[in-house]
Amino acid sequence: MATETVYDQILYKEDLSYLKKNRDPIIKWTLFVFASIATIFVFLIIIFLFINGAPFFAAVPLNDFLFGTNWLPTAGDFGALPIIVDTLLVTFGAIIIALPLGLATAIFIAEIAPPKLRKALKFTVEILAGIPSIVYGFFGLIVLNVIIKDIFGLHYGNSWLSGSFILAIMALPTIVSVCEDAIRAVPDYYRNASYAMGATKWQTIRKIVIPAGMSGITAAIILGIGRALGETMAMLLVIGNCKTFPEPLTNLLDCVAVITSTIAAGWGPTEQGSLEQRSYLALAIFLFLMTLIINTIANLILSRIQRKFSGERSKKRFSEFRESKLYKYMQKYKQLLLTIIISGLFILIPIDFVSRVIGVSICIGLSFLMYIRKKVPQNKKKWITYGIIIAFVGWVLSTWIGILLAITICVLILGTIYVIRRISTVSQQRLWFSIIYLFSLLAVIIVGILVSYIVVRGFPVLLEPDFLTGFPSDNGREGGILPAIVGTLELTLGSIAFALPLGVCAGIYLSEYAKNNRITKIIRAGIDNLNGTPSIVFALFGFVFFILFFGLGRSLLVGILTLGLMILPTIIRTTEEAVKAIPQSFREGSLALGSSKWQGIGKIVFPAAIPGIITGAILGMGRSAGETAPIMFTAVRSSARWITFSLFEPVMALTYHLYRLNTEVLDAVDKAAGTALTLLILVLLLYAFAFIIRSRYEKRKQW
């Protein structure tokens, strides 16, 4: 090198660089092939579910499925309404619990906390997202259900409340991080303008920041709903899986069933290829469509925020629609429309006459109140909203504790609101801030209890001589979990080895090469939606596609492929984001030096994006290590005396082992806690690793 001049170098390399430029189309097509494989898999999932579910919909009228009230597939009853309603109720309850906690924590992190505490809290919240759902299930079954049973003096603790509570903790990380992003996205000059007007910090948060971040908060709620809807293993263990409506409909303490747990419990025992089995596929399709709608709405809202703060105008197609007459009519009569639709739903669903009348009259009453609300002066409007909310709370309360007590509580709440509005702004700020502190603290405490319970019970087991290095015996009551640890590692590494090349190539292709046309949009939409699809849907796909269609037995390979497909969308997305985050000037600089497009991407953009991609990959590994549902039907075995590396044999896995210890072998709670702790440590190590890489990368970032 030293002896050559720059001129020599250019002369010498001229031909070579020409050759290298010729490589470009080859690389582009290779990337395209990988991207198509990834995309084909993504769409295969959707297509295969529908094809296999089709015979069910041909045999059973949709009306019987959606509005029947009796779910007993072996007897030919396929009424999924109670399961669907219960799912919505449990999810609704979870959001009601998670939203105040999550929003308060997000406000605390984004606006109030000092930088060091902020970092620690953010880390905790993100770590929380990595706790495997089976661990929550274990905690819910052993601790929460017993507490709820004792507090309320019930016969049993398997209830809507415990389900919602567990789901709330699980949805919390999603809600906190999306809310926090939304609040931080509000430009600082909004705040400064507010302070300049003499507003207090709380007034700024309350009147400026939250309204400006409202659409992000809505997206957080919707994403939280999506997370809660797809939860399987914890629900299977915690709620009682009663396929009825709660009695009465507001009874938080009644036993309920959700779609995911119904599928997980019912799929295994049914005869393969029978109508019964297809009925569970139909449930999975329904769940898939539900999450599809929810994710689409969330994505729309989130992209609208980006446009809002970046000053872009909304799309032309949309603005044309906005100017049309139909839209204006819809705007004018949207309340009437909504009322008619919801009342119609109440009339359509087969509930008893009294409930129908109550439902319809509540609908009409609400819309009448909203109509009045428009007429009253600005400063009184709030009271009508409060009134509606408190009337609702009162109604729910009255079904538990009697009307008189409920009214007293409602009056007290109204009085408190009245008093709060009268006190000085400084005291108001103090009050609200203490509420925020309290809620954030509560969120941390709940997580603390969960983790410390598992650590306290599990740690002594980890210290047992044979636990981490021995083989299980007597159905896991004795011995260790070595094959399960190895199995989980095999599944995790295997799935990442399958998903990473495909996902990275697809991500690079999508962000750098794909033209911004309709096909790309469809591909992107498909990937985005699969990102939020419940794991139980992947489980059924893996079973139907690899085991039934391809005739592969229950094996490590099928588990790897199923898990790999599950994390593929995440990897494509993180790759795309990591590559997109590299400033355009890098590419321009490279092109200006005479490099080809691929030279620029391969030498400049991709290396710079690697830390981001690795973070995504590790998060994907954490997710696949913590999943139970996708491997439950496809890859696991109960016990093992060998450490096997064969792709064509089933393996043990920590998650499934824990599930087994919770359902088959109940007298080994300590072993279960030890397994839970091992799983927790494994997943959290992966997550911590990802965060270390990310923070180092952020420090080194030079642009």
Partner 1 sequence: MEKKSITYLAIIGMIAMFFIGWGVTSLLTPVGGEQRATFVITGSTTTEPLITECADQFMAINPNVDISVSGTGSGSGISDTINGLNDIGMSSRNIKTTENDTAGGTLIDYKFAKDGIAIIISATHPNATWLQINGLTMDQVFLIYNGTYNTWDDINPSLVAQSIDVYTRPDGSGTRGSFEELVTKDSEELGDNSGYQTSVTGYIEVASNTVMAQQVGLNSYGFGYCGLGFVDANLIAVPVNGVVPSVATILDETYAISRSLHMLTNGPATGWVQAFIDFVYGPYGQKVVEDEGFIRIWF
How large is the angle between the packed helices 556-580 and 482-508, nearest 10 degrees?
Answer: 40
Site residues for partner 1, window 496-525 (CB under 8 A)? 497, 501
Of the candidates 91, 158, 495, 599, which one interacts with partner 1 according to CB under 8 A? 158
Residue 494 as a binder of partner 1 (CB under 8 A): the answer is yes
Residue 431 as a binder of partner 1 (CB under 8 A): the answer is no
Residue 355 as a binder of partner 1 (CB under 8 A): the answer is no
Of the candidates 193, 610, 681, 692, which one interacts with partner 1 according to CB under 8 A? 610
Cβ pair 660, 638 in contact under 8 A: yes
Residue 276 as a binder of partner 1 (CB under 8 A): the answer is yes
Residue 665 as a binder of partner 1 (CB under 8 A): the answer is yes
Interacting stretch for partner 1, rule CB under 8 A, among 21-29, 66-74, 365-373, 529-537? 66-74
Residue 683 as a binder of partner 1 (CB under 8 A): the answer is no
Name the residue type at position 102. Answer: G
Of the candidates 181, 250, 639, 697, which one interacts with partner 1 according to CB under 8 A? 639
Of the candidates 121, 205, 451, 547, which one interacts with partner 1 according to CB under 8 A? 547
Radius of gyration for the alpha carbons in the chain, expressed in angstroms and rounded: 27
d(Cα 19, Cα 272) in Å, to the nearest integer? Answer: 56
Interacting stretch for partner 1, rule CB under 8 A, among 38-46, 185-193, 292-300, 636-644? 636-644
**Residue 699's CB: how many other CB atoms inside 10 A?**
7
Residue 640 as a binder of partner 1 (CB under 8 A): the answer is yes
Of the candidates 17, 24, 36, 77, which one interacts with partner 1 according to CB under 8 A? 77
- What is each CA distance from 493 to 127, 225, 239, 575, 701, in whole angstroms? 20, 30, 33, 18, 29
| Closer CB to partner 1, 189 or 703, in the complex | 703
Is the C-alpha dihedral spanning 34, 37, 40, 41 positive or negative?
Answer: negative
Of the candidates 425, 474, 550, 681, which one interacts with partner 1 according to CB under 8 A? 474
Q: Kindly report the length of the chain.
A: 703
Q: What tokens were used for 58?
A: 């041909």
Site residues for partner 1, window 205-264 (CB under 8 A)? 236-237, 240-244, 255, 257
Binding mask of the shown chain, residues 134 to 153, with x at each position contacting partner 1 by CB under 8 A: ------------x--x----
228 CB-contact burial (10 Å; exposed 0-12 / middle 13-18 / buried 19+)? buried
CB of 701 to partner 1, least distance (A): 13
d(Cα 75, Cα 606) in Å, to the nearest integer? Answer: 57
| Closer CB to partner 1, 426 or 666, in the complex | 666
| Closer CB to partner 1, 459 or 648, in the complex | 648
Q: Phi first, then psi: what are they for 180, rounded to 5°?
A: -60, -45
Cβ pair 260, 232 in contact under 8 A: yes
Residue 61 as a binder of partner 1 (CB under 8 A): the answer is no
Residue 102 as a binder of partner 1 (CB under 8 A): the answer is no
- What is each CA distance from 460 to 245, 467, 674, in whole angstroms? 43, 10, 8
d(Cα 265, Cα 581) in Å, to the nearest integer? Answer: 43
| Closer CB to partner 1, 224 or 240, in the complex | 240
Residue 350 as a binder of partner 1 (CB under 8 A): the answer is no
Q: For the chain, report the end-to-end CA distance as a whole number of angstroms.
A: 30
| Closer CB to partner 1, 149 or 308, in the complex | 149
Of the candidates 309, 371, 418, 642, which one interacts with partner 1 according to CB under 8 A? 642
Closest residue by Cα to residue 163 from 71, 81, 252: 252
Residue 622 as a binder of partner 1 (CB under 8 A): the answer is no
CB of 479 to partner 1, least distance (A): 9
Residue 643 as a binder of partner 1 (CB under 8 A): the answer is no
Site residues for partner 1, window 433-452 (CB under 8 A)? none
Of the candidates 163, 216, 266, 532, which one interacts with partner 1 according to CB under 8 A? 266
Of the candidates 273, 365, 415, 589, which one interacts with partner 1 according to CB under 8 A? 273
d(Cα 212, Cα 190) in Å, to the nearest integer? Answer: 9
3-state secondary structure of 478: strand
Q: Phi first, then psi: what are they for 583, rounded to 5°?
A: -60, 145
| Closer CB to partner 1, 389 or 548, in the complex | 548
Cβ pair 219, 298 in contact under 8 A: yes
| Closer CB to partner 1, 295 or 575, in the complex | 575
Site residues for partner 1, window 308-337 (CB under 8 A)? none
Cβ pair 614, 641 in contact under 8 A: no
Q: Which helix (H) or strand (E) holds 472?
A: strand 472-473
**Residue 312's CB: how many other CB atoms inside 10 A?**
11
